[in-house]
Amino acid sequence: MISGVVFDMDGVMFDTESLAMDAWEAAGEACGFPLTRSLMVPTVGLNENDTAHYLTMSLGTDFDYGAARSIAMDSITSSIREYGVPIKPGLLPLLDHLHDLGLRLAVASSSPQDHVRFLLDCAHVAPYFHAIISADLVERGKPAPDIYRAAVGALDLAPEQCVALEDSPQGIRSAYDAGLLPVMIPDLVPVDPAVAPLLYAQCTTLSDVITLVNWGPLTQVA
């Protein structure tokens, strides 16, 4: 029986991955490095340290990750302050439905705690969550299982009682290795054949998760 749902944030709850791609590309232009979408897409789901390592290996040691990240984050923050958080379709009805069912909810995000809190507060959804776990609260980021283990621990639930909603292969591996039921809702990254066997289900939108939670694995949504 499903008793909890753990949400990845960027790309699952909020349509912020595309916003981030544009911000990183602009940051690259400002810093003189080609931070193209094709280069940045593999960073989806990674924490800051792993993203910095990947970009430094790709672009060389002259690349100043800290400077580029600062420019990108300022751009993202300014956009959200001006236009609001781009909420994924189906999020608010799903949160209301899960709340009505009495399920325990958590966020498990690869972003830092201050950024996670900022987005949740701007979207006015923070009160729905019993726990908010970010990458800077665990030793290893996704695809290691640390963040999902911390999330289910904070919910006081067994991993097998919890669905994990993810949009990246790194997140799916993290949730699976932590013992949760991984559900992929693809955003920028399509379902990787290597992680497909790890999925409890695949959904098209967050609205499909309502059916999944109501009826369980017999009604997996393809």
Q: What is the tens place of the pLDDT at every residue in 169-186?
A: 999 999 999 999 999 999
> E strands, the chain, where?
4-7, 104-109, 131-134, 162-166, 181-184, 201-202
Kindly indicate the confidence band of residue 43, based on its pLDDT and cuts at 50, 70 and 90. Answer: confident
Closest CA to 202 of 218, 216, 186: 186
Mean pLDDT, the chain, rounded, equals 91
Question: Are residues 136 and 116 in contact, defined by beta-carbon separation less than 8 angstroms?
Answer: no
Give φ, ψ of 89 to 5 degrees: -55, 135
Q: What is the pTM of this model?
A: 0.87
Question: pLDDT by residue (tens digit) across 65-87?
Answer: 889 888 988 888 888 999 999 99
Average pLDDT of span 139-168? 96
- What is the C-alpha separation between 212 and 128, in angstroms, rounded? 19
Q: What percent of the chain has pLDDT over 90?
A: 61
- What is the C-alpha separation between 196 and 198, in angstroms, rounded? 5
- What is the C-alpha separation between 203 and 37, in angstroms, rounded? 24
Question: Is the confidence at residue 222, as pLDDT, over 80?
Answer: no
